[in-house]
Amino acid sequence: MELTGVLAFYGGRYWVCNSEEAWLCPLGVGDRAEVLVGGEWRAVTMQSGRYGGWYWRFADGQWSRLASCMQVRLVKM
């Protein structure tokens, strides 16, 4: 099953939420997802660095800071 929503930060952690279908999914270190960047879905893994910072690690080794309202796609088995 594929779930598409937006990234939100609440209670000290990141969530993917979809208000139309009324669901929330927490994200933690090591979780995998896809984010929409420049009109293209890119595979990412959630990471946390020193000082409690969160970031995405892309499959090609690049990384990016998370931003609220990013479109995120999750695939659940």
Question: Among 39, 50, 41, 44, which Cα is nearest to 63's?
Answer: 44
pTM for the full predicted model: 0.81
Distances (CA, A) of 19 to 14, 24, 31, 56: 16, 8, 21, 23
Correct CATH for 2-75 of 3.40.1160.10, 3.40.50.720, 2.60.120.260, 2.40.10.390: 2.40.10.390
Token digits for 17?
Answer: 């939420």
pLDDT value for 23: 84
Q: What ranges do the domains of the chain cover? A: 2-75
**CB burial of residue 2 (10 Å; 0-12, 13-18, 19+):** exposed
pLDDT tens digits, one per residue of 1-49: 678 999 998 888 899 998 787 788 999 999 999 999 999 999 999 998 8
How many helices and strands, by DSSP H and E, does the chain display?
Answer: 0, 8
